[in-house]
Amino acid sequence: MSVAGSKVKLSTAIRDLRIRWDQTREGWKDAASESIEADYIAPFEREVRTAIKAMETMTEVMIAIRKDCSEDHQ
């Protein structure tokens, strides 16, 4: 799978997680749910956003490398 394809899958998964977690929180509003949000969900979302940004950078670098390599061969 390409980096771009992996990025799409990861973006979709984190979006789905957020939707389902928000649905769960509609009926579960107590200290335990707030703790899970603060200790697990929010940090995980930040880490995934960081990974997605890194994947975008990797894609840009790979495009540049392909371009540079193809120019060398022409």
The rounded mean pLDDT for the chain is 93
pLDDT tens digit string along 10-44?
Answer: 999 999 999 999 999 999 999 999 999 999 999 99
Question: Domain segments of the chain: what residues?
Answer: 3-72
- Separation CA 50–CA 45 (nearest Å): 9
Residue tagged 């009926």 (tokens)? 27
Does the pTM of the predicted model rise above 0.85?
Answer: no
pLDDT tens-place string over residues 43-53:
999 999 999 99
Q: Which residues of 37-74 are buried (b: 16+ CB within 10 A; e: fewer)?
A: eeeebeeebeebeeebeebeeeeeeeeeeeeeeeeeee
Is pLDDT at 71 greater than 90 in this prediction? Answer: no
